[in-house]
Amino acid sequence: MGDLGVPTWHMGSQDIDKAAVKNDFGWGSSNFHKMGRDKIRLIRDFTKSGVDVLISDIDVAWLRDPIPFFLRYPKADILVSTDMLRSETNINPDAQGPNMVDGEGLEFHICHAPSNIGIMWFRSTVGSQQLTEEWVTRIEKDDKIWDQNAFNDLKGLDGGCQYQPDGSGLGSGYGGEGGMG
């Protein structure tokens, strides 16, 4: 593609054997963790270069373009899915109702459940750049730490995971340095 003049980048892994990418990595395996580190470095590098990033695991099915939904939340540096087993998008209808569009909105409280990094939207902002830089630093220091756990640790850093009672679903994370939803 590069030879044809199409802008490209090489997303090769720093540590994964090329033959290994032809097989299932297996959740929790060494290659699985290496792939996760590559994903986080990629997010960091793109946001530092001024590009907003949507990351989606391979097992996510998009039924329509999600970008208009994300753009409803211009104050969010990062929007991320959760591992919540029940929806809280309408747990407080009086507060959340004005923030809903076509029956859709964010979970009431970003801190109620662990984040699931299978779906993430990062704006190229100072807040997301700082978080991703520290995220990469943490996961590269310890090859046993799971990238998702490291994200959740950063989200709640210094008690920084706070929600706004206005029903918007937005709040702050990362020690109050990043807007999240």
4-25 residue pLDDT tens: 776 555 555 556 666 665 666 6
pLDDT digits (tens, 9 = 90+) for 113-145: 788 898 999 999 999 999 999 999 999 998 888
Judge whether 147 and 139 are in contact, CB under 8 Å: yes
Q: Distance between CA 103 and CA 74 in Å, rounded?
A: 19
b/e code 46-76 from CB counts within 10 Å (16+ = b): bbeeeeebebeeeeeeeeeeeeebbebbeeb
Q: What is the pLDDT of residue 167?
A: 66
Cα(37)–Cα(50) distance, rounded to whole angstroms? Answer: 20
Strand partners, 81: 116
Q: Quick one: tokens of 17? A: 């054997």
- Its pTM stands at 0.79
Which stretches within the chain are classed as H helix?
Answer: 30-48, 67-71, 93-96, 126-141, 147-155
